[in-house]
Amino acid sequence: MVILLLEFGIYELLQRNVAKAVALVPTMAKKDINPHTLRHTAACHLYESGNDIVTIQAWLGHVSATVNTTNLYTEVSMQMKEKAIMS
């Protein structure tokens, strides 16, 4: 019950701040911004800052012996780098 209330509180806090941001950047209204979005963004920034994937895996709490789940963040990062090069 406590965890559910905490998650709901974080979600509500985030949504209030997203609403304020949409007033400044209207295109954000089309984005689905939720706590997982923040988690994903943090993982991408950790990777792009040079942190190794095993450290990021531990930070995210991915318990799998492999890093397959965490590798999703590196693939996104490579796509972002490729897009940056192409533009």
Which tens digits make up the pLDDT trace of 11-56? Answer: 889 999 999 999 999 999 999 998 888 888 888 888 888 888 888 8
Helix, strand, or coil (residue 65): coil
- pLDDT tens digit string along 57-68? 888 887 665 556
Answer with the residue of higher pLDDT: 36 or 79: 36
Considering the entire predicted model, what is its pTM? 0.60
The residues, any chain, with a CB within 8 Å of residue 67's CB and separated by 6 or more, are: 53, 54, 57
Measured between its terminal Cα atoms, the distance across the chain in Å is 48
